[in-house]
Amino acid sequence: MRFVIVTGMSGAGKSSVLKMLEDAGFFCVDNLPIKLVKKFVRLIIQGKNEKVALGLDIRSGHALEEMDEVLKEMKAARYKYEILFLDCSTEVLIKRYKETRRLHPLSQTGRVDKGIELERERLDFLRKSADVIIDTSHLLIRELKAQIDKIYVENQEFNNFMIMLLSFGFKYGIPTDSDLVFDVRFLPNPFYISELKHKTGQDAYVREFVMDSEAAVEFLDKLEDMLTFLIPHYISEGKNQLVISIGCTGGKHRSVTLTNEVATKMKDLGYAIKVEHRDIEKD
């Protein structure tokens, strides 16, 4: 039997994941009282359900603190379980709550950010115990489904660490969730070449122009060396997502090219990679 406890930040996608697992053949139960968890586990072990998912989150209130003891007892009784923790950046969660106009479960005063930080503190023990952590800050629903299918349908090995490579234009501001920011405005600018001006870094001609610069090649090599050194240290500190932002003036030519080149280099390291070109469609 496969028993998955689905938990995480409110607004990070737990309900969507439970629906995905249900579609994949899991028997799903959401928001079960903590005191009933052990009884529920005993029942499903005696039953015929081969795949079971249990949703738990901050809605359990102060009773959630008892879950730590429940998990220890389950481990002592050799009940096998997995914890899937859905995380998300505070900035993205605030945006999602504003768009849906819903109140955060812990924000009685209306301050969503305070409620999110309090929830993060209360769920920390579950995050530390998690077998799989998925950060949904930059994931579309279809991308999240692909991750869930990979882990729980195809039973493939999952790497908790994801690298988000983001190109942007400085004229539109630095992405607020960046962990590392690199400025490539020192490279020759295709914008001033008439036949390249209205193209982007996705175009082969623009890529060739940018990468024809010795400085671009050297920058790429040095960046690869630095990231190869840094990433294992970030992982050892418990970080599960690294947002690397690469910017040029408008976010259409140099930054797009270098972001794509870095993505190609990083794929050989075996980490999950997501690429986004934030400002490529802007004027």
Domain spans in the chain, listed from the N-terminal domain onward: 2-152, 162-277
Judge whether 47 and 25 are in contact, CB under 8 Å. Answer: no
The set of residues, in sequence order, having a beta carbon less than 8 Å from that of 216 and lying 6+ positions away, is 184, 187, 210, 254, 257, 258
Judge whether 211 and 217 are in contact, CB under 8 Å. Answer: yes
Judge whether 168 and 255 are in contact, CB under 8 Å. Answer: yes
Q: What is the pTM of this model?
A: 0.75
Give the span between the Cα atoms of 204 and 196, in whole angstroms: 10
Judge whether 107 and 10 are in contact, CB under 8 Å. Answer: no
Give the span between the Cα atoms of 213 and 211, in whole angstroms: 5
CATH number of 2-152: 3.40.50.300
Per-residue pLDDT of the chain (283 residues; tens, 9 = 90+): 899 999 999 999 999 999 999 999 999 999 888 888 888 888 888 877 789 999 998 888 777 888 888 888 888 888 889 999 999 998 899 888 888 777 777 776 667 888 899 899 999 999 988 999 999 988 889 989 999 998 998 887 777 788 999 999 999 999 988 999 999 999 999 999 999 999 999 999 999 999 999 999 999 999 999 999 999 999 888 788 899 999 999 999 999 999 999 999 988 777 888 999 999 998 7
